[in-house]
Amino acid sequence: MDQAAVLDHEFVIAAYIITWVLQLGYLTYLAIKWSAEKRAAARRTSSLR
Amino acid sequence: MKKAAIGLYAAITIALMIWGFYQAMYVAPTDAMQGEIFRIIFYHVPSASVAFLFFAVSLLGSIGYLSYRRSHPEWAQVADAWALAGAEVGVVFCTVVLTTGPLWGRRAWGIWWTWDARLTTTLVLWLIYVSYLLLRRFAAGPQVQTLAAVLGIFGALDVPIVYMSNRWWRTQHPAPVFGGAQGSGMDKSMLGPFMWNMLAWFCWGVFILILRYNVERKHQQNAEAEAQEALEANV
């Protein structure tokens, strides 16, 4: 592969990595938010007893 | 049963993502004009399509909220949760579009960014929905959901403008590959990998959209229960 093709390939890999970092980062944020809501619901239920 | 269905759907989605990646990197041939950099299309275009679809979900949710907020408050809350989920997940996908696009542009055009019609309208779309999310995050009071719904409808008006921008104004961004002028389209050898990635990103998007919707519904239920308890404590 010539230098331009190598650089193109690196840009493609960078784009794919950025995409996955954004998507998995957001998924992690949702998982944290979900467990926080579950914890809040459980705390409320136990305080009612 | 529900957990098993979710697990199965997640497994199918992950398998599709891996298969889509394999198709994009190893099956699709190198583009004769653009070379290797063309492979960004397999993430860039599906992300844009999914973002548009979820902004449409947000539009329907916003209309639903405004329609039902007085007659059926419970339905309105469901609609509002869909509106928020659509907007937030749409912003994530739109962010992918706005980061992969400049990488592609740098190699194909020699520039990271230009104020061309497609790029500018996409940035405006992203900014409108980011402001929607900021409004929901930082504003308080009983009117927030109504204001957000109006902004959600206003934001969705930009989607057809973004879609049509490279048909109406021929500036830097390439003409549409699909549904463009005569002779537009994609070679069969690239179309297969492209469609696999469309399917994979659609399934992934639906997965996180439903997850976001459920998080919001849980949040609404917790907030409602807390308000109810506070009311009972005051009586």
Closest CB to A15: pick one of B103, B218, B225: B103
Q: How many CB pairs below 8 A link A and B?
A: 76
> Taking CB atoms and an 8 Å cutoff, what residues of chain B touch A5?
35-36
Closest CB to B36: pick one of A9, A16, A27: A9
Choose between A22 and B34: higher pLDDT.
A22
Residue B56 has pLDDT above 70, yes or no: yes
Q: Which CATH number fits domain B2-176+186-228: 1.20.120, 1.10.10, 3.10.180, 1.10.3470?
A: 1.20.120
Give CA B23 to chain center in angstroms: 23
CA distance A32 to B21: 27
CB atoms B104 and A34 under 8 Å: no
CA distance A11 to B100: 9
pTM: predicted TM-score of the whole model, two decimal places: 0.93
What confidence category does residue B153 fall into, taking pLDDT thresholds of 50, 70 and 90? very high
Whole-number pLDDT of residue B181: 66
Q: Map out the domains of chain B as residue ranges.
A: 2-176+186-228
Closest CB to A30: pick one of B43, B95, B215: B215
Percentage of chain B lying above the pLDDT 70 cut: 97
Alpha-carbon distance A19 to nearest alpha carbon in chain B (angstroms): 6
Closest CB to B215: pick one of A15, A16, A33: A33
- B60 touches A at CB < 8 Å: no
The tens digit of pLDDT for each residue in A15-40 reads: 999 999 999 999 999 999 999 999 99
Q: Is B30 left (phi over 0), alpha (psi -120 to 50) or beta?
A: beta
Whole-number pLDDT of residue B180: 67
User: Residues B110-124: what's their mean pLDDT?
Assistant: 94
Whole-number pLDDT of residue B124: 97
- A4 touches B at CB < 8 Å: yes
Q: How many C-beta neighbours within 10 Å does residue B156 have? A: 24
Following CA atoms B191, B197, B203, B206 in sequence, which dihedral angle do they give, to the nearest 10 degrees? -100
Give CA B176 to chain center in angstroms: 19
Predicted interface score ipTM higher than 0.90: yes
Angle between helices B41-68 and B117-138 (to 10 degrees): 50
Query: Of chain B residues 152-191, which have a CB less than 8 A from chain A?
Result: none
Q: Are B152 and B84 in contact (CB under 8 A)?
A: no
Whole-number pLDDT of residue A1: 65
Angle between helices B188-234 and B73-108 (to 10 degrees): 140
- The rounded mean pLDDT for chain B is 92
State residue B29 phi and psi, 5-degree precision: -75, 160
Report the SS3 class of residue B125.
Answer: helix
What confidence category does residue A48 fall into, taking pLDDT thresholds of 50, 70 and 90? low
Q: Are B87 and B145 in contact (CB under 8 A)?
A: no
Q: Which candidate in A26, A34, A44, A49 is best for mutational testing of the B interface (most B CBs within 10 A)?
A: A26
Whole-number pLDDT of residue A49: 62
CB atoms A44 and B107 under 8 Å: no
Whole-number pLDDT of residue B59: 97
Alpha-carbon distance A8 to nearest alpha carbon in chain B (angstroms): 5
The residue among B57, B130, B132, B143 whose CA lies nearest residue B92 is B130
Report the SS3 class of residue B31.
Answer: strand
Identify the helix (H) or strand (E) that includes residue B15. Answer: helix B2-22
> Taking CB atoms and an 8 Å cutoff, what residues of chain A touch B204?
23
Whole-number pLDDT of residue B33: 84
The tens digit of pLDDT for each residue in B167-225 reads: 888 877 877 777 666 767 788 889 999 999 999 999 999 999 999 999 999 999 999 88
